[in-house]
Structure 1
Amino acid sequence: MTEHLYLDLNTYLRRRFGQKVWKVPVDAGFTCPNRDGTKGLNGCIYCNNESFSGASAGEITRQVKKRIEALKRKKINAFIVYFQSYSNTYGSLDEIKTKLESALIDDGIVSIHIGTRPDTVDDEKLDYLAELNKRYEVVVEYGLQSSNPETLRIINRGHTADDFADAVRKTSERGIKSCAHIILGLPNDTREDMMETTRFAAVCGVHSVKFHHLHIVKDTELENIYKQGKIKVMDVREYADILAECIALLPDETVIARLMGDAAGDTLIAPKWEISKNGFIDLLKSVMREKGLRQGVLFRK
């Protein structure tokens, strides 16, 4: 019998679509209310202030076409278009429609994942996504990061946990799936805060969760704080330990869509773990076995 410790994304996708499904990341050139002056100028303290691309519809189509052609040469025929960078519902409805639909160019596209903030959706935009959801599986990925209001203030998120809960509720009411992004190890967050954030996402009813470990990248406010010795990052064992407990807090049916964060090697300052992704998965599973944990065992409605 196969050991089941948690429901990973690949397992879910194979069950849902009957084949291997590959993500096609798209930079649609959206910005963020926390960077354009609407709510702030400098963004969240962990966000690298690189310039925006301002991608046109034609450029988006070219991005997707090039990546899908490369994947098809590897005999991959089912795709998720993933609008990844910044807040992909932060714009007019017409702009969002144009950019999203310019990516939907291949019959092999089965799903659309849209990364965004909970304070950049409204009824009109969600109604449009509900129409798209009739043709594709739409997943709206909302950045929660923490449910602790003081932590959200410290990291300069510019929204509240209630904003997240409200966005997930409205999204779910339309039959659209939601994914929560959670960062473990943020300044001010205790171990209990991290677990409470996970509980909060579970109670909100998200379809999936992406966990990220806090990492420090160049040219961020977080870099300055780190160099002043005001925060520390977890070592890989510490992270695996808290992650194991957070996974156990989630319902069995919640998809664990990500286990750890990514940062380009030339921008990463800390932590620099000497472990591969597969190595980390092995470590996590070992920790879960040691602690007698699996997904769902600590979930309380």
Structure 2
Amino acid sequence: MEKQYYYAYSKYLKEKYGEKVYKLPVNLPVTCPNRKEGGGCLFCADAGTGFEAKESTMPVLEQLQSSREKVEKRYHAHKFIAYFQNYTNTFLPLPALLQYMEEAAGMENIVEISLSTRPDCIRQDYLEAFQNFRERTGIEVSIELGLQTVNYHTLSAMNRGHGLAEFINAVLLIAPYHFPVCVHMILNLPGDAMEDARESARVLSALPVSMVKLHSLYIPKECALYKEYEAGNIQICSKQEYIERLAEFISLLRKDIVVERLFSRIPEKDSAFSNWGNSWWKLTDEWKALMEERQYVQGIRCDYLNGAALNRWEM
């Protein structure tokens, strides 16, 4: 049996729903307040994150059914998550978002709706409505928050349009409703160092966070960061440095936090830089080798919470 270095998302879903569950992307006609007000994050392309998404003009049910046919045929899955993936879905007016959620709920065997959004686009009236939806339909609602780094200087440099405080506030607002919270992190943003990766793990572990989705930085050809990259104005850490940051992050991460992804996956034609020209599975193998060398598994160094100094000096 292969050694488990982290709590994998596939394992979590199987434990929760009793069988394989696959995400089906949904692209809604929405943008992001940061794109409207501040020009958007430097690493965000015009397509957002939905490089392979359907057109947002396509009805939600049609998008889901199209993706479902491919997934069922290839993976023999029978339960699905409707993943409202692109841009900031809670930037939609609440009635419109609820209508899209109702449409997704109309497809058979949808067990969850996952809403991708920003920390500064979480509000109590939305959360109340999501709770009512869950109670009425029996369909889980999970929330994916893009944070990327806990370094507020880097957040500012990347023009994220929010700081660390907004993220903490969003997580605490969501907590009483018990929606699973997935946090997106990039461990190799320009300006960040190893200690930022370590501190990111510590901060997430100290908060009621359910999952983390890790991305190695990729640079789309149509984004502001691409110009800086081409001009040689930014430095991206080496492949080995990223793998070491990832090992440190996982070793410090609370054991019960689900890890959805370790490396980005983006079509080569859409990116100027991605994964140092390596496949994600090759990078994963190198990371596992380092974890084995250091005798790391998830949470093995998560000893800094709940009165750590008192625990060390307890007689």
The alignment's TM-score, normalised by the length of structure 1, stands at 0.92
Q: Does 1:61 align with 2:61?
A: yes
Q: By how many angstroms is 1:69 displaced?
A: 3.0
The answer (yes or no) to whether the contact 1:152–1:159 under 8 Å persists in 2 is yes
Equivalence map 1:1-301=2 (5 Å):
3-37=3-37, 40=38, 42-50=39-47, 55=56, 59-74=59-74, 75-134=76-135, 135-271=138-274, 273-299=276-302, 300-301=304-305
The answer (yes or no) to whether the contact 1:247–1:296 under 8 Å persists in 2 is yes
Name the % identity. Answer: 33
Cα 1:71/1:219, change in 2 over 3 Å: closer
Please tell me the root mean square deviation across aligned C-alpha atoms, in Å: 2.0
Q: Distance in 1 between matches of 2:160 and 2:70?
A: 37
The answer (yes or no) to whether the contact 1:181–1:209 under 8 Å persists in 2 is yes
Q: Distance in 2 between matches of 1:116 and 1:147?
A: 17
Q: Distance in 1 between matches of 2:152 and 2:71?
A: 42
Per-residue CA deviation, residues 123-148 of structure 1 (Å, 9 max, x unaligned), is 00011112233312221000111111
Per-residue CA deviation, residues 161-213 of structure 1 (Å, 9 max, x unaligned), is 11111111111111111111111111211211122122112212210001111
For 1:31, give the aligned amino acid: T
Q: Distance in 2 between matches of 1:195 and 1:43?
A: 27
For 2:222, give the aligned amino acid: D
The DSSP-based 3-state class of the residue aligned with 2:81 is strand
For 1:80, give the aligned amino acid: I
The answer (yes or no) to whether the contact 2:60–2:104 under 8 Å persists in 1 is yes
Deviates more, 1:139-148 or 1:274-283: 274-283
For 1:230, give the aligned amino acid: N
* Larger helix percent: 2
Q: Distance in 2 between matches of 1:272 and 1:34?
A: 26
The equivalent residue for 2:313 is none
The DSSP-based 3-state class of the residue aligned with 2:90 is coil
The DSSP-based 3-state class of the residue aligned with 2:222 is coil
Q: Distance in 1 between matches of 2:6 and 2:171?
A: 22
Name the count of aligned residue pairs: 297
Q: Distance in 1 between matches of 2:280 and 2:221?
A: 22
Per-residue CA deviation, residues 8-31 of structure 1 (Å, 9 max, x unaligned), is 111111111111111101101211
The DSSP-based 3-state class of the residue aligned with 1:3 is coil
The answer (yes or no) to whether the contact 2:264–2:275 under 8 Å persists in 1 is no
For 2:26, give the aligned amino acid: V
Deviates more, 1:155-164 or 1:64-73: 64-73
Per-residue CA deviation, residues 44-95 of structure 1 (Å, 9 max, x unaligned), is 0001124999835x61121012222333344320101111100011021101
Q: Distance in 2 between matches of 1:73 and 1:214?
A: 32
Q: Distance in 2 between matches of 1:100 and 1:236?
A: 40
The answer (yes or no) to whether the contact 1:249–1:298 under 8 Å persists in 2 is yes
For 2:108, give the aligned amino acid: D
The answer (yes or no) to whether the contact 2:190–2:236 under 8 Å persists in 1 is no
Q: Distance in 1 between matches of 2:261 and 2:275?
A: 18
Cα 1:54/1:96, change in 2 over 3 Å: farther
Q: Distance in 1 between matches of 2:186 and 2:175?
A: 23
Q: Distance in 1 between matches of 2:159 and 2:226?
A: 14
The answer (yes or no) to whether the contact 2:213–2:261 under 8 Å persists in 1 is yes
The alignment's TM-score, normalised by the length of structure 2, stands at 0.88
The DSSP-based 3-state class of the residue aligned with 2:146 is strand
Q: Which runs of 5+ in 1 are unaligned?
A: none
Q: By how many angstroms is 1:274 displaced?
A: 4.4
For 1:159, give the aligned amino acid: H
The DSSP-based 3-state class of the residue aligned with 2:116 is strand
